[in-house]
Chain A
Amino acid sequence: SYVLTQTPSVSVAPGQTARISCGGNNIGSTVVHWYQQKPGQAPVLVVYDDYDRPSGIPERFSGSNSGNTATLTISRVEAGDEADYYCQVWDSSSDHQVFGTGTKVTVL
C-alpha cells in the first residue's frame, strides 16, 4: 500500500513561515490534500488539489507538489495555526484513500 511520511514536528515563531513536508513515491504524479486538526476537533480541509484553498481558508496557507515531496506552507504564522497537519492522497492502485503520518506544528 502507498505510504505517506511526514516530519513529526515543526516549530516556528509567530510571523515566520512553516513548511510541512509529505513524502511519497512519485507523489508529484497525484494530487495532495491537506487537513488541519486542532486538539479535540475534527480535521478541516485547508488545501486541496495540491494548492487550492476552500472558501474561508486564509491565503497564508499554500501548497506545492513535485517529485517525491508535497509541501504545505503557512506564511506569517499565527498562534491559532498551532495544530496537527495531515496530507492525504488517493491510491489509484487500490482505490483507497491514504493519510500521512501527521505533523505537529508548534508556534513558539
Chain B
Amino acid sequence: QVTLKESGPALVKPTQTLTLTCTFSGFSLSTRGMRVSWIRQPPGKALEWLGRIDWDDDKYYTTSLKTRLSISKDTSKNQVVLTMTKMDPVDTATYYCARLGGLTTEVRRDDAFDLWGPGTFVTVSS
C-alpha cells in the first residue's frame, strides 16, 4: 500500500524557519521516474505548487518562493523534507506532499499526482 504523510509544527512564529517532513511507504524515491512535490493551500484558496525533488536528486522550486525554499530527501528513511525560511502570516496554509511517477512505468515529466498525503495545517502567528 502506497501512502504519504506530512508532519511538522502546527504553529510557527513570523521570521522563523518551517521544516516539514513527508514520510512515505510503498515506493522508493530512488526508482527512476519517481518524484515528490510539495503543494500548499491557504484557507479558502487554490492549490499552489511549491516545488519538487526527483529520483536523481534534481530539485525545482516555484519562482516566487525560490529564495526561501529547500527540498531534500533521505532515501533510506523514505522521507522528503521541505524547509521554508522567513515565515510570514500569509504562509498560513495546509501543506501537502504528493507523488509523481506512480501511474505508469514510463518515465515522464508531465504525469499526474496520483497520491497525496492528508496534509498538515501550519499557522504562522506570533
Q: Assess A99 versus B116: contact at CB under 8 Å? Given A31-B110, A48-B111, A92-B110.
A: no
B109 touches A95 (CB 8 A): yes
Given contacts A97-B52, A100-B46, contact A43 B109 (CB under 8 A): no
A57 to chain B minimum Cβ distance, whole angstroms, is 12
B47 within 8 A of A: yes
B interface residue count range (under 10 / 10 to 19 / 20 to 34 / 35 or more): 20 to 34
Report how far A86 CA is from B112 CA in the complex, Å.
Answer: 12
- Whether B62 pairs with A45 at a CB distance below 8 angstroms is no
Query: Judging by beta carbons under 8 Å apart, are B109 and A102 in contact?
Result: no
Distance to closest chain B CB from A33 (angstroms): 4
Chain A residue nearest to B45 in the complex (CB): A102
Chain B, Cβ-Cβ closest to A95: B60
Residues of A within 8 A of B (CB): 1, 30-31, 33, 35, 37, 41-45, 48-49, 54, 86, 88-90, 92, 94-102
Question: What residues of chain B have their CB less than 8 Å away from a CB belonging to chain A?
Answer: 37, 39, 46-49, 52, 60, 62-63, 96, 98, 100, 103, 109-114, 116-119
Q: Can you report 22 A-B residue pairs in the complex whose CB atoms are below 8 A from each other?
A: A31-B110, A35-B47, A37-B47, A43-B98, A43-B116, A45-B112, A45-B114, A48-B111, A48-B112, A48-B114, A49-B111, A86-B47, A88-B112, A90-B109, A90-B110, A92-B109, A94-B63, A95-B109, A96-B49, A96-B60, A96-B62, A97-B52
Given A45-B113, A96-B49, 20 additional A-B pairs, CB 8 A: A1-B63, A33-B113, A41-B118, A45-B112, A48-B112, A49-B111, A54-B103, A54-B114, A88-B113, A90-B109, A90-B110, A95-B60, A96-B62, A96-B63, A97-B37, A97-B100, A97-B113, A98-B49, A99-B49, A102-B47
